[in-house]
Amino acid sequence: MLKSAWLKILLLSLGVLVAALGAGWFLIGPDWRALVANPPAGRDVLFWSQAQRSAAFRMMDQIPFIVSSNPIKAGTSVHALEAGAPLDPGVALDAYMASQQTAGLVILHKGKVRLERYGIDFKPAGRWTSFSVAKSMTSTLVGAAVRDGHIRGLEDPVTEYLPELKGSAYDGVSVKQILTMTSGVGWKEDYSDPKSDVALYDLHVPEAGMDTTVSYMRTLKRAHAPGTVWNYSTGETNLVGVLVARATGKSPAQYLSEKIWGPYGMEQDATWLFGSTGFEMTGCCIQASTRDFARFGQFIMEGGVAGGAPVLPEGWLEQATREQAPTGTPGLGYGYQWWTWDDGSFQADGIFGQGIFIDPARQLVIASNSNWTSADGDVDGEWEARNDFYRAIQRTLDAEAAR
């Protein structure tokens, strides 16, 4: 049995090595070697080791068993990020980054780079996976589709765009209710439980001729009346992505490229991973540079204008980035796939330490990519420590303004 297990590891390692050489991983750095030495057993990142994650998060779209993705094309011009005065973060930065296992950190103030640092052998030109930071991008595509007339309004029933959901728990649920995760449809998002919906969804075999996301979501049961209870559900953001694709006739990656990535001037092409569905996982998994994540935050800060034209309906961001539903955590609410704070700041948030924090009052954007010890950052307190870091930066800017 032991020899058999080692043989399987060796064969997988050789397969990864061949694919690595073919894909040019050697151009990225030594990280593919870490995967060859210690290959993950499957696609479920929730159960990978921290070393495996550190190697994989910087190249998720190049791993043989997670290789399918759509490109998010950048445009012909780049939105310049000018250097600003160096920022004193008010904390021991090296120690903070080490405790967070931070790969990339970019802080913009008034559109200028005040601080940019990289760790764990990550580089500015590298791309790191976003996880649920993509949710906020997906919700922004809904706004673009509303402005473009592809979606008439958020009070429209979901079943009008996804008729396969008729007769399911999504009867009577509006677009706004799946956007704010208040559909009332039962979904269990427990990253430590391999039998929770967030894990089982990826294994689902769809009904013949039906999109996998729609096929899985229509099996769920009603837990609450629509609009009454907030329940975090990556499945519903994946459903939002299918809705956007149906409404626009374009893939989420293509629509993001056409509306934002190209016109705003992102520096690099990005990618959007497919799930087992053969479709973008719109609740997850955009690979981009930390600087381009910061640019997306600045796009939102500037009111959603790209290429000199508004991308979003008037008043969209005011609604999207304020609390639409309480989360049960004091001071923390949920908007249109954005986490909101009582002081008017808001953030996109992804497991294992990915984030875009935006504070309009201070004209502050903080983009960070990390590899926490746990998905939620609750085992070693990384989530709280990152929030403390955000507040330290706010205090520094307040002190500057008071001088």
Residue ranges covered by each domain of the chain? 2-69, 72-131+257-402, 151-243
- Scan for tokens 């103030």, then name that residue: 109
Q: Given this model, what pLDDT does residue 334 score?
A: 98
SS3 labels along 167-212: CCCCCCCEHHHHHCCCCCECCCCCCCCCCCHHHHHHHCCCCCCCCH
* CB neighbours of residue 93 within 10 Å: 17
**What is the rounded distance in angstroms from the CA atom of residue 146 to the CA atom of residue 178?**
15
CATH architecture of 151-243: Up-down Bundle (1.20)
Q: Given this model, what pLDDT does residue 31 score?
A: 57
Q: Given this model, what pLDDT does residue 32 score?
A: 59
* CB neighbours of residue 88 within 10 Å: 14
Indicate the fold that domain 72-131+257-402 takes in CATH: Beta-lactamase (3.40.710)
Q: Given this model, what pLDDT does residue 63 score?
A: 84
**What is the rounded distance in angstroms from the CA atom of residue 201 to the CA atom of residue 236?**
11
Tokens of 131: 């996880």
Tokens of 338: 């954005």
- Tell me how far the alpha carbon of residue 380 is from its chain's centroid: 22
Q: Given this model, what pLDDT does residue 9 score?
A: 30
pTM: 0.91
Q: Given this model, what pLDDT does residue 39 score?
A: 67
**What is the rounded distance in angstroms from the CA atom of residue 236 to the CA atom of residue 233?**
5
Please name the amino acid found at residue 85: A
* CB neighbours of residue 150 within 10 Å: 19
Alpha-carbon Rg of the chain, whole angstroms?
A: 21
- CA angle 79/80/82 to nearest 5° reads 150
**What is the rounded distance in angstroms from the CA atom of residue 163 to the CA atom of residue 157?**
10
Q: Given this model, what pLDDT does residue 275 score?
A: 78
* CB neighbours of residue 17 within 10 Å: 16
**What is the rounded distance in angstroms from the CA atom of residue 10 to the CA atom of residue 272?**
30
Name the strand (E) or helix (H) holding 98: helix 93-100
Q: Given this model, what pLDDT does residue 205 score?
A: 83
pLDDT along the chain (403 residues), means of 10: 32 37 40 65 79 92 84 97 96 98 98 98 97 98 98 98 97 98 96 84 82 92 97 96 97 98 98 86 96 98 97 98 96 98 98 98 98 95 98 98 95
C-beta separation of 281 from 93 below 8 A: no
